[in-house]
Amino acid sequence: MKFAVTVKERKAGMPCDNRPIGIFDSGLGGLTALSELRKLMPRENIVYFADTARNPYGTRTPVELKKMARENLAFLARSGVKTVIAACGTMSTNALDVLHTSEVPVINVLEPSVAAMAAVSGKQPLAVIATDASIRSGGYTRALNSACPGREVIALACQEFVHLCETGHTLPKDPLLQQEVAKALAPLQEAKPAALLLGCTHFGLIAEAISAYLGENVVLISAAECAAKAMKAYLEEAGLTGGSGEETLYTSGSVREFEEKAEHFLHRPVKALYGSAGE
C-alpha cells in the first residue's frame, strides 16, 4: 500500500532527526491526528497548521483544493518539517496527486484508513462518511471497492458535522449533535454495516455520539488514527524519529478563537500563532 511516501534506504543507526512533523487541516479536525500521533510518538516535535480562514474545505472545488494543498505544504516546508500528515479527508480524496508528488514526504488519510477497512472481516456492508467534496470525488468509494471486492460500500456526505465540530457541538449528549447524527446516519440503521470509516478527521471529535447512535456492533475506524499509525511506521522504518515533544500551532484565522476551541478538545492550555498559507 502506497502512502504517498517512499523509503529509499534504511537509516537505522543514524543520528536522531529532530525536525518536526507537519500536520495540516482546515481547522480543528486535524487535532485528532495530532492527539493520536502524540500518544504514539510523544517525543516527536510537531508543527500544526489550521487553515481556519479558508474553512470549510468540503465545499471547495478540486481545482481550489489542489492549489490549497500546494500552499499548505509549502507553508509547512518553510517550517522545516521532515514529513507531513495531510489530516484532511477532503484533501486526501481531491488532491492526492499533489500529496503523492510533494518534495516533503506526505502521509494522507485515505490510503491507510482504507487498508484498515479492508481488514474488517465478514460480508456486511462497509460505510464511509466524509465531507461533500470527498464523497463527490468518489475517492473513498473507489478505494474501498478496489480494496474490498464484493463488499457493498455505502458513502454518505455529512458536511454539517464539520460545522457542528467547529462551533463546539461535540459532546455526545448535545441535542443539536444528536439530531444531526440521527438525520445524517439514518440510512445506516437499516444497512447495518460492519464498520464505518470516519473519513473526515473532524468526525473523530464526535465519534462517541456516532457510536451511541449506531451501536457497539458497528466498528468505527478513524482516518486520523490510521494516518498517525502510518506516520509512526514510516518514521521508524526510515530512521527519522527524534525530537523533544515540542509543538507549534498556527492558524490562518483568529488566534484567540482557535486557542479556545483547541483547548476544549485537547483539554490543556494551547498557545497558537498566526500563519497564512494563501496569497
Active site residue 148: no
Class of residue 140 by CB neighbours under 10 A (exposed 0-12, middle 13-18, buried 19+): buried
- Distance from the first to the final alpha carbon of the chain: 35
Read off the amino acid at residue 103: E
- State the catalytic residue, choosing from 158, 165, 200, 226: 200
Active site residue 200: yes
- State the catalytic residue, choosing from 88, 158, 165, 226: 88
User: Which are the catalytic amino acids?
Assistant: 88, 200
